[in-house]
Structure formats: structure tokens, C-alpha cells
Amino acid sequence: MVAAGGGAFAASNSCLSVDRHTGIYFVTGGPAARMFHSADRGKTWRVTDIPVAKGNASSGAFSVAVEGKTIVIAGGDYRDPQKGAGSVAYSTDGGLTWNRPEVRPNGFRSAVASVEGPRFVTVGTSGSEFSDDNGAHWKHAGSLNLNAVDVRGVSGIWAVGANGTVAKFHYPR
């Protein structure tokens, strides 16, 4: 099912999401950027192509965040981190259709997380952003080189990055 030469990027620890209500999700990169979803504990899988950067070993979907029927994918090309056109995609219908944001993150993004409801945060080597509308528009949150993010409530957004960087965000109100 995974494209020849493709695979999952595990470095941010978020290429896989398990939601007890909607199922198992994982994303891949390389020659194709895809999302795999199983609603029946892995018995059957639906595979969809995602409109993020793809085509070489350093590009594709790196991270998936699920909040109900909203799915946000982060990625791009880590060897060309400033190329922002293909770094995020979102779906509001459980992955049946995909959209590119109207206002995009600024470059490669290695991780995305759901904060609550329509709110998401994404981080990468050239900075971080927040979205209040399911991933359609992103607002700059900082320029730190960050690689992974985890959310513990609205006031507990933690990210880590290069050279031992640890950052705590407070979601803007």
C-alpha cells in the first residue's frame, strides 16, 4: 500500500494518530504523500493522496492531527525548509477531500497537534504557527527551530527542537 520508496517519518513522533472514536491514521512521504485510515482497528484501510510536497526521499507528510472529522497534515521538504507551498493540508470531512490553507505556514513543518476544537498548532525548522479555523489560515507564533509538539490543554503546549531547545506556548486568545 505504501508507494515504492516511501515510508513514514517518525522523528516528530506524530506520523501516527489513534482516535478511539474515528480510528487509526498514519501519513507517509517520499514519492507520494498519503494518509492511511482504518475505522475498524486495521482490518481495512482507506488510502488518500494529500496535497503536500512530495516526490523525493526528504518530502511528504510528516505529521497528522485529528479532531473529530477535521484532520490537519504537516510536512513539506526538510531539505528545502523555506519552501512553504506544500507544508500543510487539511480536511473537514474525515479525509474524503483535502484543502490547502489560504494563509500557509512559513516553510517545512515537522509536527502538528490539535489544541481543542478548531485550534491547531504546527512547528518546524523555520518557526511555528497557530490556526483557529481547522487549518485554513495560520498565524505566526515564533521563529524557533522546533521539531516536535505536544498539547496538554490550552495552556500546555510544549515543543522541542535543535540544540536542546524547549518551548512552552500559550495559545493566543
Beta carbons of 151 and 115 less than 8 angstroms apart: yes
> Which structural domains are found in the chain, ordered by start?
16-143 (2.130.10.10)
- Residue 162 dihedral angles phi and psi, to the nearest 5°: -65, 150
Q: Which three cell numbers stand for residue 157?
A: 503546549
Helices (H), 16-168: none
DSSP state of 148: E
Q: What is the pLDDT of residues 109-143, one digit of tens each?
A: 999 999 988 999 999 988 999 999 999 999 998 89
- Across the strands, what pairs with 151? 157
Instruction: Name every residue whose Cβ is closer than 8 Å to that of residue 173 and which is 6 or more positions away in sequence.
Output: none
pLDDT of residue 4: 65
Whole-angstrom Cα distance, residue 88 to residue 74? 5
Q: Which pLDDT value is given to residue 84?
A: 59
pLDDT higher for 165 or 169? Answer: 165
